[in-house]
Amino acid sequence: MIFAIEEINNSTELLPGIKLGYQIYDSCASVPVAVHVAFQLSNGLDPVFYTGDNCSHSGMVKAVVGETGSTPSISMSRIIGPFNIPQVSHFATCACLSDKQQYPSFFRTVPSDQFQADALAQLVKHFGWTWIGAVRSDSDYGNNGMASFLDAANKEGICVEYSESFYWNHPRSKIKRVADVIRRSTAMVVVAFTSPGDLRILLEELSLEPSPPRQWIGSEAWVTDTDMRRFSFCAGAIGFGIQKSVIPGVRDFLLDLSPSKVAASPVLTEFWEDAFNCRLGKSAAINKRLCDGTEDIKTLQSPYTDTSQLRITNMVYKAVYAIAHAIHKAVCQKTNSTTQCDKFTRIESKEVLIQLKKVNFSRNGYDVSFDANGDPVARYDLVNWQKSESGSIKLVTVGHYDASLPVGQKFCINRNITWVDGGTHVSSPKAII
């Protein structure tokens, strides 16, 4: 988000002469915290966002990027929506958020789960799996997503042996019961519409008493999550993920961390101390040695420095740019070949909301626009967990789904797929489903 804002603030084409300010909050995946922030934003109680000399007036909130989850996004939207403050989420996928009667100011750069549910049903049908099990997060994301999938699966003639819900903070007895249902079932295929945090708890429970291998079918929230691939008994898992993308310059930006930058940010301080197992100054991590300045982030192998699998990151990037384009349309005029922006124009959030509905641009080869429901065109990568020669699990893109294409051309498989039992599905050069 900061990278995108700094790019925009240095641009001579988008909002020239105008600086965007920001405030970043960590909701800690907590609905009460997200609601508290939403009330702050609605009441205009935030401090001045941009403290530079060129700020024309104190920063009233024009738009919000977030939330990550569907449940906190729903809660926030109900609060800021009546104030016409646009909200652009990068990862809230619940199909329920497409309802403009309830969420009139909600947009997202990530596809609605309605498309994913349909795609998953087509995937299951294509491979002839007519007897399956289903597990889901007991949340807006899991419950709505699974309901859409079960409806689509029923239309495709797919039978479901069981459908179980659970949540990461449920008693272990509940998690164990779900695990036992999977162990005792005759369905060898399990469709999981869960968050990574929830599924992690279930897989840890399943690993205590190994059962016959199951073929896992995953939703986008967990199937591309790096940490989840430590569960090697899920090798062969397949599912739809947010498209992998490239953002030029973002790796250099991430590696440009000076000691002063790290020390000024509690988040970066915590990251630095954890990554290098040392403490900075008067840090609370008293059990660690003092950082001596020899730490080199460029040599660090971590999810922070790995920009080879940018998926959700690009959704954040596109959300920031969408808001910037909306503001640009509201305050800038193009005469001949020159763009003039009036930075003293006091625009209301409602004007940004109106312009957001019209945005249509391309950035780094990725299109950004919203339909009448505030949704983007649904495009996914079909990904497969394949074992490498070293035994570790790697994420391989084996196909694509594009909802904008005609029926019969939306879904293609163009690489071989490895299953949980070690078998391989050999693809033709371009198998269209």
- CA–CA distance, 132 with 192 (Å, rounded to integer): 11
Q: Is the pLDDT of residue 308 over 80?
A: yes
Instruction: Name residue, tokens 């990461």.
Output: 168
- Residue 219's SS3 state is coil
Q: Which two tokens stand for residue 280?
A: 């900075």
DSSP state of 52: S
Find where tokens 């250099």 sit: 252
> Quick one: pLDDT at residue 46?
47
CB 424 within 8 A of CB 418: yes
- Listed residue (427, 417, 412) closest to 386, CA to CA: 417
167-205 residues labelled b (16+ CB within 10 A) or e (exposed): bbeeeeeebeebbeebeebebebbbbbbbbbbbbbbbeb
Residue pointed to by tokens 């961390």: 257
CA distances from 103 to 80, 332, 343 (A): 10, 28, 30
DSSP assignment letter at 405:
S
Q: Which residue has the higher pLDDT, 284 or 36?
A: 36
Domains of the chain as residue ranges with CATH = 113-244+377-413 (3.40.50.2300)
pLDDT band at 48 (very low <50, low <70, confident <90, very high): very low
Three-state DSSP state, 150: helix
Taking the C-alpha atoms of residue 110 and residue 126, their distance in angstroms, rounded to an integer, is: 25
| Segment 165-209, tens digit of pLDDT | 999 999 999 999 999 999 999 999 999 999 999 999 999 999 999
Q: What's this model's pTM, rounded to 2 decimal places? A: 0.93
